Amino acid sequence: MPMIYFQFIRKKHKRIIGKSGAGFTLLEMLLYIGLTTFLLASVIASAYPLFTNAERFSARTTSDIETAFAVQKISWALSGVATVNMPVSGDSGGTLSVTVVSGGDYSFRLENNAILISDDGGTTWTPLTASRASISNLLFTHIAPTGGAPRAIEVSFDVNSIPVGPLIYYARF
């Protein structure tokens, strides 16, 4: 009786499954597993650099934003300059002190790898850059007017060991 029942089931499933009456062969299973493994390895290998470089890209973007902010703030302070107090004409230094047309004094200097700004004559200093942007080699040069060219302030510094500048701001004083 059990043998007859098995033959009945097998005949019934032959119509559904096919002639062999079985699913995949061992060779087919190994082939499909190999292809799936190859595809997964390819996806992981191509996605890995994206994940590892995301943090480096984020740090670089932050550094660029910090640099742009510092440059724009210095540019803003130099846009209405009446006099340059420090460095003197023809000299260079790590501190820039200017008096603007409206009567305010602005000073910039480097301290603890950050550019600091003071708007009260050097009493209170506020950082312009965050700790993610390590600033070094800040140098201001007061260029005297020569040959019809106006006087200028040249600014250069390094952000995370990448040089910025020299940036030249021509003064209208």
DSSP codes joined into one string, 138-172: EEEEEEPPBTTBPPEEEEEEEETTEEEEEEEEE--
d(CA 95, CA 118): 11
Rg (CA), the chain: 35
- pLDDT digits 0-9 by tens, 19-33: 555 567 888 888 889
Q: What are 142's two structure tokens?
A: 């007061």
- pLDDT digits 0-9 by tens, 134-170: 888 888 888 887 777 777 888 888 888 888 878 887 7
Sheet holding 114-118, edge to edge: 81-86, 96-100, 105-111, 114-118, 126-127
Spell out the domain ranges in the chain: 2-55, 67-170
Whole-model pTM over 0.75: no
